[in-house]
Amino acid sequence: MKDYFFVPGNRLHKLATIEALGVYIIIDLEDAVKASDRVAIIDELCNNPLKYKKHYLRIPLYDVRLQANTQALQKLIDAGYSNFVFPKLQSNSDFEFIIKTIGNIDLKLILLVETARFFLELQQILLTNRGLIKGLALGSHDFMSEIGGNHTLKNLEYPRIQLLYLARMINIEAIDIASMELKDENLLQEEIIDGFQKGYDAKFYIHPWQLESKRKMKLYTETDLEWAKKVITALEKVEDKEEFNPIIIDNQIIERPHLNKAKKIINHYGTK
């Protein structure tokens, strides 16, 4: 699983340290900073685009009246930025308004789904804007706050599964929720492994401790690794890989779809 790490926009001096962790960085200009600080942060980003534009920017898209507003977004685009996280979108019409306002721009967007209406309208948005959208994620805390429910894995089961399937529908990254847990390692690791076993490609992180905890985990077991080695060994004996026929390994029928899983396991351990 890939690691996406939120860095508050008022801590740009910490970027070098976070970059050394080998993560994908999201500079947060929304919830993590005061509104009064945003002008100075955006000015810094616009004055030094070569320094920061490889990262994603989570950018506020609404004004104090909760009207869609692209002023800050447009300023950053004009400065050369193209990677954005769009949070708190209220509706399909708001998304279309924003895209129409900024014009035909080559962007890479991660949609952070945090409202019920946008969640329910999402399928059509993805089908009509698939060229713009790179990733999809659930802003689970805002989402459950609007729903009025407790933030638990059980209560989040349906929206997490739905967003995963929608991401697969157009072959984009599915990014799992950010955890606020900074103390109980068992709870954090339970959440990480749950997303991994569901099939998520990546996860959001907000603190280096969370990354340290994740990197101590074995997302696959030794048994998984031994199984994968047997599958790959059997595949290597096939002269024409396109003619791979089902085989039996450890009393289990192995078909072509199992090959991708075996390769993922081998690659996972190969990067350790």
Q: Which domains does the chain have, with CATH numbers?
A: 2-215 (3.20.20.60), 222-270 (no CATH)
Helices (H), 199-221: 208-215
How confident is the model at residue 219, as a pLDDT? 79
Which comes out higher in pLDDT, residue 57 or 243? 57
Average pLDDT, the chain: 90
Mean pLDDT of 179-201: 93
- The Cα–Cα gap between 226 and 211 comes to 26
**Residue 157 is which amino acid?**
E
Question: Strands, DSSP E only, in the chain?
Answer: 2-8, 24-28, 56-58, 83-87, 108-113, 133-138, 173-176, 202-205, 247-249, 252-254
pLDDT in tens, 72-91: 999 999 999 999 999 999 99
- Higher local confidence (pLDDT), 46 or 103: 46
Q: With 50 as the cut, is the pLDDT of residue 30 above it?
A: yes
Does 215 carry a binding-site annotation?
no
Residue showing tokens 């280096």:
208
201 is in an annotated binding site: no
**Predicted confidence (pLDDT) at residue 221 exceeds the cutoff of 80:** no
- 65 among annotated binding-site residues: no
Give 121-147 pLDDT, tens digit per residue.
Answer: 999 999 998 889 999 999 999 999 999
Token pair in block for residue 16: 């070098």
Residues, the chain, total?
272
Alpha carbon distance, N-terminus to C-terminus of the chain:
13
Under 8 Å between Cβ of 178 and 143 = no
How many DSSP H helices and E strands does the chain contain? 12, 10
pLDDT of 48 over the 60 cut: yes
